[in-house]
Amino acid sequence: MKICVCVKHVPDTAATIKITGDNGFIDDEIKFVVNPYDEFGIEEAVSLVEKHGGEVVLVTVGKPAAAATLRSGMAMGAHRAILVKTTGQFLESGLTARALQAALEADGLPDMIFTGKGSVDTESFQTPYRLAHALGLPIVNEVSNLDIDSGKAVVEREVGGGEKQVIEMQLPAVIGATKGLNEPRYPKFPDIMKAKKKEIKELEIAALGIDESQGAVVLETLETVPERSAAKMLDGDADKQVSDLIKILKEEEKVL
C-alpha cells in the first residue's frame, strides 16, 4: 500500500508575525512547523502502513526551508518525501493543487491521499477539494474516524452540532484529517536522526509546467489585527446600562 500525505510548512501559531512590504512577512525569524491538521494525516498513514505494509510519501509545496517540515514528518515514520519548490510565501490554492497533482502523478498515484482538513495560516480550506477534483478522485474532509476494508474506506466526519456523517467510498480517495482521528506520535531522538538520512526529492515548480505568478487569487495586502481597546464597564441599574450602551454604540463606535 502506497499512501501519500500532503503537508504544509506553516508558522507556529504562537509566533509573532512581522509584516514587511504590502503583502509579505519576515519568515527567517520565526519558527515553522508541520501544519497541525496534517499531523493527523501523517499518523493515520504511518499506522495503516505499519499494519498493512507499504510506504508513506510526504509531499509539500513551498520554499526550500519547507524541507524541515518534511524531516519532521519523516521522523514520525514517513519513508520519503517530495518538495515542490516555490519562491513566494503565499501560493494560491488552485496552483498548490496543480503542483501537488503534478508531483503525485510523476511519482505514481498512491492508493490513498491524506491532507489536513485545512491549514492554520491562510485557512482557505480549498486545496484538498481542488486536488481531488484535479485527480478525479472522491474526497471527504474533516474525517474523525477511518476504516479500510476490501479497497473501500468507511469514514466518519463532523457535520456540526455534535452530529456525524458516515460515508463509504472506493479507493483511491482524498481524505482530510482532523482532530479526533488519532493521537499523533511524538518522534523520539533515534527517529529524528534516521529522518535526516531519508530521501527528499526536490522539484522546481516551473519544471512541472506551473507558473506560480498566474494564480486566480492574488494577495494584495497583509495587515496585522488591530489591538483591541480596553473593556469599558457600565455602572447603574439595567435601564441606565442599556441607555449608556446605546449611546456608546451610536456616538463612539458609530455602529448604530
pLDDT at residue 49 above 80?
yes
pLDDT mean over 68-96: 94
Asked if residue 221 has pLDDT above 90, the reply is no
pLDDT of residue 227 exceeding 80: no
> pLDDT band for position 253 (50/70/90)?
confident
Q: What is 2-208's CATH topology? A: Rossmann fold (3.40.50)
**Model confidence at 228: pLDDT above 80:** no
What is the predicted pLDDT for the residue at 148?
A: 93
Residues 6+ apart with CB under 8 A from 230: none
Q: Whole-model pTM?
A: 0.86
- pLDDT number for residue 172: 96
pLDDT in tens, 88-128: 888 889 999 999 999 999 999 999 999 999 999 888 889 99
123-167: pLDDT as tens digits: 888 999 999 999 999 999 999 999 998 889 999 998 888 889 999
Choice among 134-138, 173-177, 220-224, 241-245 with the minimum mean pLDDT: 220-224
pLDDT band at 223 (very low <50, low <70, confident <90, very high): confident
Three-class secondary structure assignment of the chain: CEEEEECCEEECCCCCCCEECCCEECCCCCCEEECHHHHHHHHHHHHHHHHHCCEEEEEEEECHHHHHHHHHHHHCCCCEEEEEECCCCCCCHHHHHHHHHHHHHHHCCCCEEEEECCCCCCCCCCHHHHHHHHHCCCEEEEEEEEEEECCEEEEEEEEECCEEEEEEEECCCEEEECCCCCCCCCCCHHHHHHHCCCCEEEEEHHHHCCCCCCCCCCCCCCCCCCCCCCCCCCCCCHHHHHHHHHHHHHHCCCCC
* Structural domain boundaries in the chain: 2-208, 229-256
Give pLDDT, residue 239: 92
Query: For residue 27, is pLDDT > 90?
Result: no
Percent pLDDT > 90 in the chain is 71
